[in-house]
Amino acid sequence: MTDPTREAATQDPATPNGAEPVDSVEHAARTPELDQPYRELGLADDEYERIREILGRRPTEAELAMYSVMWSEHCSYKSSKTHLKYFGETTTDEMRAKMLAGIGENAGVVDIGDGWAVTFKVESHNHPSYVEPYQGAATGVGGIVRDIMAMGARPVAVADPLRFGPADAADTRRVLPGVVEGVGGYGNCLGLPNIGGEVVFDESYARNPLVNAMCVGVLKSDELQLAHATGTGNKVILFGARTGLDGIGGVSVLASETFSGDETGSGRKKLPSVQVGDPFTEKVLIECCLELYGSDLVVGVQDLGGAGLSCATSELAAAGDGGMRIDLDTVPLRAEGMNPAEILSSESQERMCAIVRPEDVDSFMAVCRKWDVTATVIGEVTDEEHLRIDWRGECVVDVPPRTVADEGPVYQRPVRRPAEQDLIAADDANTLSRPATAAELRETVLRMAASPNLCSREWVTGQYDHYVRGNTVLAQPSDGGVLRVDEETDRGIAVATDCNARYTRLDPYEGARLALAEAYRNVAVTGSKPVAVTNCLNFGSAEDPGVMWQFQQSVRGLADAAAELGIPVTGGNVSFYNQTGGDPILPTPVAGVLGVIDDVTARIPTGIGAAPGESLLLLGDTREEFGGSEWSRVVHGHLGGTPPRVDLARERLLADVLGIGSRDGLISAAHDLSEGGLAQALVEMSLIGETGARIVLPEEADPFVWLFAESAGRVAVSVPRGAELKFTELCSARGLPCSKIGVVDDESRALEIQGVGDIPLSELREAWEGTLPRLFG
Amino acid sequence: MSAAGARIGVITFPGSLDDGDARRAVRRAGASDVGLWHGDADLHGVDAVIVPGGFSYGDYLRCGAIAKFAPVMTEVVRAAGQGMPVLGVCNGFQVLCEAGLLPGVLTRNSGLHYVCRDQWLRVDNNTSTWTTRYEPGAELLIPIKHGEGRYVAEDPVLDRLEGDGRVLFRYVDGNPNGSRRDIAGITDERGRVAGLMPHPEHAVDPLTGPTDDGLGMFLSALDTLVAA
């Protein structure tokens, strides 16, 4: 925790007697030749020149801070923008029909029927979480939750796709427990159930962990809030936590290199550049916001995240129809001696900015008082064209807001397919030596179940509250999380996130399509209909042409797949520079899919044994596909060949059949087949359902291929007695391959696989559940 | 009084999280739910009070330590003294201990991690206002979710609780937090005020919880109120 008293007590040596000279617009105009530390702030020479051109003078210190942070890769998408356009180009009007807000808003919003809308988004907090795992992960949750609040929605669930270095690496033991505790510590305290997410281990994430955070919000479709500042004379209100010196990051360079070149400035206290979260403040802020929205007291609203007030004021003004004036002296601070650049760049958490009609200000303040939330009028919407910010009676920022928020640089980074791709593709995984005997197969089933990427996630997810709010119908270890939205009608939603970055490494285009196909399938196996896509694109350096090729291919793969599946991409997030030295992470385009389920009581669970006398059926085709497979990693430490084939028409067909099967009560359990193949799916269905099964191999099948191949488009289902014929007829009428692979055995305490042998559930459980507790305590 | 005529209040502190769930459980049991605001020194004529789970006031000092000073808690303590049924769940249990309505304290889990899981409990007492619907010795499956749920008290206090039959529930099939003598929930001398770490309000419907084993607590209290 930040200690506000200590912070406040820190005397700024630059201002021993109070008044510090101000780098005003006027001063900037008078001192055009002054050296400015723009390179230290991450701006290139030509970017700095462009700012001077826009303004017709050098920027003030505060303006420089604003431009540098808003034109950063993180805020401006300058390397990705040119590729991301493809999402828009491939979205048809038909796909857009249910979209209430899309790319460019704080988060995408989708109409789910009955007057309800859902908003969802994933964001990365990778770098902060490596530096400070707990706070990095905690504030990642806090940030995405505020994005959802900014759409007018009540946040209702979170899910966290996490990726770490090798499970047994010393640094993973530092990073993982802190990240998990941070995700839990913040989300649990906000009262948001954590219903999904991923935990993946791979060498490439050592020193580059990926901490992505998803939040889902629900609103009435006519209650959508947008981030714009309209209506001359409307007030700009900053509310929530006070603004401090935390999370200033690169802008802190200005603290020691003030325009006057004051050496003593470098002696002032700096706080860590990773922000510090206070979930209690955010919880209260959520309730306060919802009451403000419900009372119709807000014209526009924006959360304060990366780039703090710089971002909120310039984006609100840029999206509005006029200008804005801000008086920085009114911003409530929790540190003394902060200069304008610091106030504008501070990433202090738990803050929001609202546009409020003058006649509503008193009512707005009354709601904030009820929730004990600090709220201050800091400015107003004007009919001018500029965003103008004053400090101590002088104008320190006078800029066209769109030049800050929307018109940042756009780069056409070099893109080049690395020659080594051919070598990797030629390194065929299908030629690796395989288990042959029953004993070897049995041993492989157990070894796979215990491997870090396939074992139980209970050590992680058991630290997350998935019950709070009382609407969680399915949560981990289910393939997708399912929430009830309406208690009267039982209408609900499902979410899942996925990416197998080994596939993306082998082929970024096909790998991205596989990621989306799997997230889509994970939503479908719950009985829900997939309706929209979001993404979080984690890659290495944008200045590496090979990485940019991976990025370009992944974007195209995701967009093309979304179009083929007929569901829109409603938003996304890009994180570049996930690399240490010359080694980038595996390209990791995480796909998130939102689904709708008309009746949550018809949801399909993962565990078998719920209905008496179930049969087990396998839907889809199994091929000899081991490129990028978990088996090739676990047993051979191998990554090569080509990823499994993708057939999106088949995925749609599967989703249709699962939807009908759920609605008509023909399916008692279902599990998507992915990493580890059929063997792993059967292990999990048995262990989660605490029930054994007898599995019979098709006569012509090669047991190894059949058990461990990772062919896409497959789902294992259990079908209650009496429903089998109806279900198989449903499949054959629609041309979906469906084969009976065994029966659930209520009496058996083992998974019995013909040609492999019996494995007692107790032995499987020990393998599956033992790994993470052994590694992380 | 009819069941629907029984009014059960649920307090909302800043940072309360399970207040909505507690109110849903009250409705599911057939009673009327009434929201009570922490800053409001008025119980609005309710017949019983639930102090729900969450992180009241952020729990930055010590769990429940600030909440006991809320104006509404003064009224709860007064009403409990006059025999009003009061239930504290999780953070609410911590608040009732801090407020002196129940003995002992809840400290950090022995495993040091926050734990969310379905937990088996055994019913030790079925004579308190909140447990009459259960058979003695019955086993219930109810979620737990807390980082500070280790029940601690001096031996003489524990001896007296056990001697007086005031232990309502004990953890079975594994003690999740290191609570002394596996204690999951207790009651006061009169059996009217109860506190427990597990969340009965999250086990009122098998759709959203592991079971509906928790509903019995709300029905038990309702029986008492209807009979009164």
Write the secondary structure of A650-706 as one string of H (helix), E (strand) and C (coil).
HHHHHHHHHHHHHHCCCCCEEEECCCCHHHHHHHHHHHHHCCEEEECCCCCCCHHHH
The nearest CA of chain B is from the CA of A450 a distance in Å of 21
Has A777 been labeled as part of a binding site?
Answer: no
CATH of the domain at B101: 3.40.50.880
Of A283, A372, A473, the CB nearest to B208: A473
Which H helix or E strand runs over A388?
strand A387-391
Structure confidence by residue, pLDDT tens digits, B138-150: 999 999 999 999 9
Is B117 inside a domain boundary?
yes
Structure confidence by residue, pLDDT tens digits, B108-133: 999 989 999 999 999 999 999 999 99
The verdict on B122 touching A (C-beta cutoff 8 Å) is: no
Of B58, B143, B201, the CB nearest to A280: B58
The nearest CA of chain A is from the CA of B28 a distance in Å of 12
Has A471 been labeled as part of a binding site?
Answer: no
Model confidence, pTM: 0.94
Structure confidence by residue, pLDDT tens digits, A15-52: 444 455 789 999 999 999 999 999 999 999 999 999 99
Closest residue of A to B55, CA-based? Answer: A189
The verdict on B44 touching A (C-beta cutoff 8 Å) is: no
Is B33 inside a domain boundary?
yes
Closest residue of A to B204, CA-based? Answer: A470
The nearest CA of chain A is from the CA of B6 a distance in Å of 23
Has A123 been labeled as part of a binding site?
Answer: yes
| Residue A185 near residue A134 (C-beta atoms within 8 A) | yes
Convert A518-533 to b/e letters by CB count within 10 Å (16 or more is b). bbbbbbbbbbbbbbbb
Q: pLDDT grade, residue A531 (50/70/90)?
A: very high
Distance of CA A389 to the CA centre of its chain: 33
Q: Which residues of chain A have a CB within 8 Å of the CB of B35?
A: none
The nearest CA of chain A is from the CA of B136 a distance in Å of 27
The answer to whether the peptide bond before residue A477 is cis (omega within 30 degrees of 0) is yes
Tokens coding B100: 């002196």
Residues 260-319, chain A, touching B (beta carbon < 8 A): 278-281, 283-284, 287
> Which residues of A are catalytic, by number?
74, 125
Domain holding B151, by residue range, is 7-227
Closest residue of A to B17, CA-based? Answer: A191
Beta strand segments in A299-386, E: 300-303, 323-327, 351-356, 375-382
Q: CB distance A278–B58 less than 8 Å?
A: yes
The verdict on B199 touching A (C-beta cutoff 8 Å) is: yes
Q: What is the mean pLDDT of residues B83-99?
A: 96
Of B14, B21, B207, the CB nearest to A372: B14
Closest residue of B to A474, CA-based? Answer: B208
The verdict on A465 touching B (C-beta cutoff 8 Å) is: yes
| Residue B31 near residue B225 (C-beta atoms within 8 A) | yes
The verdict on B202 touching A (C-beta cutoff 8 Å) is: yes
Give the amino acid at A317: A
The rounded distance, in Å, linking the Cα atoms of A218 and A290 is 11
Q: How many C-beta atoms surround the C-beta of residue A624 within 10 A?
A: 12
Q: What is the mean pLDDT of residues A312-327?
A: 92
The verdict on B14 touching A (C-beta cutoff 8 Å) is: yes
Has A225 been labeled as part of a binding site?
Answer: no
The verdict on B58 touching A (C-beta cutoff 8 Å) is: yes
- With a CB cutoff of 8 Å and minimum separation 6, the contacts of B228 are B1
Has A348 been labeled as part of a binding site?
Answer: yes
Has A500 been labeled as part of a binding site?
Answer: no
pLDDT at A107: 82
Whole-complex ipTM: 0.96
Is B1 inside a domain boundary?
no
Is B2 inside a domain boundary?
no
Has A27 been labeled as part of a binding site?
Answer: no
Of B21, B58, B147, the CB nearest to A469: B21
Determine which one of B90, B98, B146, B148 is catalytic: B90
pLDDT at A657: 98
Quickly tell me which residue has 């308190």 as its tokens.
B128
Of A283, A462, A469, the CB nearest to B116: A462
Q: How far is CA A682 from CA A715, A738, A744, in A?
A: 11, 16, 11
Structure confidence by residue, pLDDT tens digits, A536-585: 999 999 999 999 999 999 999 999 999 999 999 999 999 999 998 889 99
Average pLDDT, chain A: 92
Q: CB distance B15–A484 less than 8 Å?
A: no
pLDDT at A606: 97
The verdict on B146 touching A (C-beta cutoff 8 Å) is: no
Number of domains in chain B: 1
Q: pLDDT grade, residue A666 (50/70/90)?
A: very high
Structure confidence by residue, pLDDT tens digits, A351-385: 999 999 999 999 999 999 999 999 999 999 999 99
Instruction: Return the bridge partners of A163, or none.
Output: A200, A210
- State the best of A281, A468, A485 to mutate against chain B, taking most chain B CBs within 10 Å: A468
What percent of chain A stands above pLDDT 90? 83
Of B201, B202, B207, the CB nearest to A601: B207
Q: CB distance A601–B55 less than 8 Å?
A: no
Beta strand segments in B147-217, E: 150-152, 167-171, 183-187, 193-196
The nearest CA of chain A is from the CA of B66 a distance in Å of 14
Q: Is the pLDDT of residue B75 over 70?
A: yes
Q: CB distance B207–A600 less than 8 Å?
A: yes
pLDDT at A250: 54
pLDDT at A102: 76
Q: Which residues of chain A have a CB within 8 Å of the CB of B92?
A: none
Is B64 inside a domain boundary?
yes
Structural domains of chain A sorted by starting position, each given as residue range(s) with its CATH number in brackets: 45-76+233-382 (3.90.650.10), 81-223+419-776 (no CATH)
The rounded distance, in Å, linking the Cα atoms of A97 and A384 is 36
Closest residue of A to B14, CA-based? Answer: A284
pLDDT at B60: 74
Comparison of pLDDT for A697 and A632, the residue scoring more: A632
pLDDT at A268: 47
pLDDT at A697: 87
Has A722 been labeled as part of a binding site?
Answer: no
Closest residue of B to A373, CA-based? Answer: B14
The nearest CA of chain B is from the CA of A731 a distance in Å of 28
| Residue A219 near residue A256 (C-beta atoms within 8 A) | no
Closest residue of A to B111, CA-based? Answer: A777
- With a CB cutoff of 8 Å and minimum separation 6, the contacts of A184 are A194, A463, A464, A465, B114
Q: Is the pLDDT of residue A1 over 50?
A: no
Of A281, A463, A487, the CB nearest to B116: A463
The nearest CA of chain B is from the CA of A473 a distance in Å of 5
Q: Is the pLDDT of residue A6 over 50?
A: no
Has A12 been labeled as part of a binding site?
Answer: no
pLDDT at A254: 53
pLDDT at A301: 92
Of A371, A472, A600, the CB nearest to B14: A371
Q: Which residues of chain B have a CB within 8 Å of the CB of A188?
A: 114, 116, 145, 147
Q: Is the pLDDT of residue B186 over 50?
A: yes
Compute, in degrees rounded to 10, the torsion defined by CA atoms A457, A460, A461, A463: 150
Q: Is the pLDDT of residue A7 over 70?
A: no
Q: pLDDT grade, residue A11 (50/70/90)?
A: very low
Q: CB distance A188–B145 less than 8 Å?
A: yes
Q: Is the pLDDT of residue A649 over 50?
A: yes
Has A234 been labeled as part of a binding site?
Answer: no
pLDDT at A12: 39
Q: CB distance B208–A472 less than 8 Å?
A: yes
pLDDT at A273: 66
| Residue A499 near residue A42 (C-beta atoms within 8 A) | no
pLDDT at B214: 98
pLDDT at A256: 41
- With a CB cutoff of 8 Å and minimum separation 6, the contacts of A3 are none
pLDDT at A18: 46
Give the amino acid at B149: G
A47 backbone dihedrals φ, ψ, rounded to 5°: -65, -40
CA nearest A503: which of A494, A514, A516?
A: A514
The verdict on A185 touching B (C-beta cutoff 8 Å) is: yes
The nearest CA of chain A is from the CA of B162 a distance in Å of 31
Q: Is the pLDDT of residue A418 over 50?
A: yes
Q: Which residues of chain A have a CB within 8 Å of the CB of B201?
A: 470
Q: Is the pLDDT of residue A105 over 90?
A: no
The rounded distance, in Å, linking the Cα atoms of A392 and A376 is 17
Structure confidence by residue, pLDDT tens digits, A235-284: 999 999 999 987 776 555 554 433 333 334 433 445 556 777 889 999 99
**B199 in catalytic set:** yes
